[in-house]
Structure 1
């Protein structure tokens, strides 16, 4: 099993080097490598929701040891309660998985169709980070919830 994990990590590392090597100077509308984003709209399965519209997560490198973490949840119309929870995760190469390192917090709005949360966090250098978000809409006794995960950034 360890050999399989190591082989998978080696393959991912090789692919990452190939992708980075192939990237040329980007256009103005492309996101730089210092920004990661995720959305519930990236889920290609058909989701039937009456109130929930979308949820997004973002992570951006601010300095050599700080990142800005943000996210939002949107509903089609104002709902009783709309919420976003954000968790900062770091890649742990020894275990080969993403681990929660900081609960950024949650934000809730009432009788609204959107809620947003944004905070800065101190991070370790030479590490990969991403944001995991839980997006929740509650209205008339109905609860609709989805998750989003941003792409990662490397803090060097």
Structure 2
């Protein structure tokens, strides 16, 4: 019986410490940002019919080659993961130098098969850090199942009055 009491006490203390650290990191603009946002088909979105046949969207990544030279942006990438009950989208922006400001904005996109194009499904979640050379963050969305989703990212590095911008997209996943 004493072991169970010790385990419950440990679990309670661990939970409180973890929640305090998450709140402190969020308040200080730290790396941890967990925004579990419930996306119910917003008004600006067209009604998407359920996918009745395997319509695989064209990500365009294999056909499009972009050569871009940058002074400040070293790398920029976004990802999407199926967490079972939610979609986790993440992104990072890496700079060659400690920048005045680094920004990563993440958008959840859905494949609109009626128009054969990707549509922003979220209004975008912006993450900002100052005086650093790296920014990583993520956000989770509860979205309708039965569609293809991907992440779109806009990455910015600002030094003085100059801002470099880079756009990226992830591969798509079918959320079921």
Q: Fold match, TM over 0.5?
A: yes
Q: 5+ residue gaps in structure 2?
A: 1-53
Q: Please state whether the residue corresponding to 2:123 is helix, strand or coil.
A: strand
Q: How does 1:64-143 map to 2 (within 5 A)?
A: 65-143=85-163
Contact 1:106 1:117 in 2 (8 A): no
The residue that corresponds to 2:15 in the other structure is none
- Structure 1 runs of 4+ aligned residues shifted over 3 Å read 43-46
Whole-angstrom CA distance in 1 between matches of 2:124 and 2:136: 12
Whole-angstrom CA distance in 2 between matches of 1:48 and 1:93: 34
> Taking structure 2 as the reference length, what is the TM-score of the superposition?
0.62
> How many aligned positions are there?
117
> Taking structure 1 as the reference length, what is the TM-score of the superposition?
0.69
Structure whose residues are more often strand by fraction:
1
How far off its partner does 1:50 sit? Answer: 1.3
Contact 1:126 1:155 in 2 (8 A): yes
CA RMSD after TM alignment: 1.9
Q: Which residue of 76, 80, 86 corresponds with 1:55?
A: 76
Q: 5+ residue gaps in structure 1?
A: 1-11, 17-37
Whole-angstrom CA distance in 2 between matches of 1:137 and 1:68: 24
